[in-house]
Structure 1
Amino acid sequence: MEHFNHLAQQLIDAADAEALPLFAGWRAQPCPGDAPVGAAMQRIHVLREHRGACHLAAVRLCGLSAQEAMVINLGVEQAAHYGWQEPRPVAAALTPRWQRADRLTDELQAPLYATLTDRQRTEFAQHVHALTGALTA
């Protein structure tokens, strides 16, 4: 847990928060210093907010609304579950826009993860896998 927290904090500290106000707000919140599991959960959330903010920017750049992107990715039922009022199916012709937004999101995230060494990225991925595996077990 300690090594995961160290690597996650490195990423959070290296992240560019410009034009990502939700991420910036979460990053500014104090992280529990005496609860390693709680700190890990907060750091995961902060990194998720970074990716989410990058993805929303990419979605808009590709000419989709957030609702359209969610329907394309997760379906109408899930969009309704997340609070969209009466979401409707999206034309299949818009799917390539969502795919492009997904690729752009990865491109926006790449410089952040490039701040870690190859070994650190591998270790971070292993830690994330172990943490998410523990949640599904």
Structure 2
Amino acid sequence: MHDLSRKPPESLIHLSHRAISDVLLNVKGVDYILLCTADGFEISSVHNKNIYNSSKLAAVSSSIVAMISAFVNEIDLKGCQSITLDAENGKAILNAIPNKNYPMIMVALTSKDILLGQALFFLKKCTEDIISADSHYSN
């Protein structure tokens, strides 16, 4: 069962939603951004295309990040917080947001022609903003 104490406060959810909305508005080719808890529950999402099952995507993303974390630990990569999947029809970017109080995962789904450097820059800035906001809470 979902531990309700792990759900971020509404003020953090609101700030995080604004941060992902800014990415969607400022980066051409971003179709969908999902924020979820580290244990796979949806927090917020924004989209230009509403073709995804957010609850299922949150759960699967949490599992993928956990498996990748185990993999990078095994091969001794330090500080890996992002995974980019490149497919024929688009990209998926998964970012761990290692908040001290309310750790999250951000999933961005994009078109295949996106300027990847621009997207990664804005997603990193968004992640930093959420981490900064989280630091004002105690859990």
Q: Normalization by structure 1: what TM-score?
A: 0.32
Structure showing greater radius of gyration is: 1
Q: Could you say which structure has the higher strand fraction?
A: 2
Q: Could you say which structure has the higher helix fraction?
A: 1
Q: Normalization by structure 2: what TM-score?
A: 0.32
